Chain A
Amino acid sequence: MDEKITIQNLIDILINNTSINKEYAEHFVKEFFQLIEETLEKEKYVKIKGFGTFKLIDVESRESIDVNSGERFLIKEHKKITFIPDTSLRDLINQPFAHFETVPLRDDLDLSNIDTDDGKAKVEEENEEDEDVDADMVDSEESVATEKEDAKDNMDEKRGEDEGKEFVNIEKNNLISTPNAKSELESDEKIDLESVNKLKDKSNAITEEVVEQGIEKKQENIIGSEENAERKTEEEIDANEQKKSEVPKTLTDTKKQLTAEEIIANELKKSNNLYPANRHTHKTTKVTHSYFPIKILKYKIVVAILSVLLLLSIIIPLFFPDFLMSAYVSLNINQKFVQERKGGPNVPNIIVKSDTALVNAIRKAENTIAINALLHADSLQQDSLLRIKNEQTIEDKNLMSSFNPQNLVKADSTLYKIVGIEDEYILKDGETLTSVSLRYYGTKWLWPYIVKSNSDIIKRPNLVYGGMKLKIPKLVRKVIK
């Protein structure tokens, strides 16, 4: 094993195996390799049956980078000697490993783990070469099983069509869950309202405060919905998980407020001062009740439209980067919706100041606001947390759009190859890479080569400054074979 056999050893072995005299064998072996050498020089191609093919291949000159200095230099064109063993010889050599077969792998395999598994398998194989293929197969299948679970986890993080579907499902869940919350609130507040109706002027002042709080909440919601427009699907999923946990919280909060009011109301019951006013307010509540479902419907529609627009603005740039502009338009539409909604909360404010008798009606309005708060207060908190993230993603989007021009490079820019450096040029203010390309090559479409040879200086092709020292590469048109 691992012995070095010289030409002399080879001759000896040949003599031992065959009954020929030494001089003859020596002459033959030397002549054999001599002839291969000579014919290679002459004809560049020698084929020997049972042994293999020797070829002399021309290697084109190409540019390379010095590992130590990092400078570009030219590798001159040269000739390369190749040897391809004959199929019969190849099979003979590979006999110990002949039982291995190429195995098609499933698509969901995680390659990063496979590589490490293979590494272990390699060691095993080297120790016992005649190991069964089946054993290896079992190993790989076990790893597949564990990796599948990982893959499932990873799938959630991935973006794509599946993501879109998930998003839709979650939206649906929201729509289903929120009406339930509303009905609960309604029933709670109906009871509370009846007791609150018996409040004095003092309690009216308290409700005013509550209404104002509600309005503030709504305004916060609007800020939240603005951020909603910039949201990504991933964040939406996370937000929804937390939403579910937060909905009960808000429910209990509102209940607390109302129970506090109930206590005041019970105290006031004893004095029995405001019975006539009660009847009047009861009527107004009935009137406002009829408006109630319509408002919910409106908000439902607005939420639905917003979610659809969100989906579009996320999916379109993902699949058609060229439609980024159209996506921005849809974002603008979202903002318009938000502005329309901003007008809403100012109206109840005026009513509060004008007439205290209409306080109950306003309280109804407050209820709707509270429901809206349920819809959005949770997302509000999420959004404030995710705002930083959103800004980052927007920056990423901008980066993506700024790199778009590279994709639009014409086919002309693939027809040349860089062969050394022709010149150095100091960029002036206001000059772009295309103008430099136009100056040196006569066409502005060859600027990617300048970027390529100055990749250490130019980080973004559309962001070059005056005073930059650019290396202008020497280009040679590729020979089309």
Chain B
Amino acid sequence: MNNKDFTLELAKRLKLSTNDTSDMMAKLVSCMTDQWQSGNVISIQTFGNFEVRKKNERVSFHPSTKQKILIPPKLILTFKPSNYLKGKLK
């Protein structure tokens, strides 16, 4: 399901217009992003945890040129599904 379908479905359920729904979604995501940027973990009980993790730099090599490259450290948003969700979708 792509973004459009998702927004339509959500609008239908909430009995809202699609524009309002997409607005709300954008606001929700920006709120969550703020939390992640300040290093907080968002934990939605039935769904899972969203956490920002630091990946250390590492030495890798380019598969085609065979050249060694140093990959810089990164901050990555990770999602760990809750046991409830895992069990439900098994």
Residues of A at under 8 Å CB distance from B? 1-7, 10, 13-14, 17-18, 20, 27-29, 31-33, 35-37, 39-41, 43, 45-52, 54, 56, 78-79, 81-83, 85, 89-90, 92-97, 100-107, 109, 111, 114-115, 118, 121-122, 125, 140
Contacts and interface: CB of A to CB of B under 8 A. Distances in A.
15 contacts: A1-B38, A3-B40, A4-B40, A4-B41, A10-B28, A43-B1, A48-B29, A51-B29, A82-B79, A83-B79, A93-B37, A93-B77, A97-B72, A105-B67, A105-B70
B85 to A, nearest CB: 6
Interface residues of B, number: 59
B1 A122 contact: no
Contacts of A118: 56-57, 59
Given A32-B25, A35-B9, A47-B1, A93 B36 contact: yes
B33 A89 contact: yes
B73 A32 contact: no
Contacts, number: 173
Contacts of A97: 72-75
A108 to B, nearest CB: 10
B14 A28 contact: yes
A39 B6 contact: yes
Contacts of B43: 4-7
B2 interface: yes
A148 to B, nearest CB: 15
Contact of B28 (A32, A49, A52): A32
Contacts of A1: 38-40
Contacts of A56: 89
Contacts of A109: 68
B72 A5 contact: no
A111 B30 CA distance: 41
Contacts of A52: 77, 79
B19 to A, nearest CB: 14
Interface string B2-19: 110010011001100000
A56 B29 CA distance: 21
A94 B31 contact: no
A49 B3 contact: yes
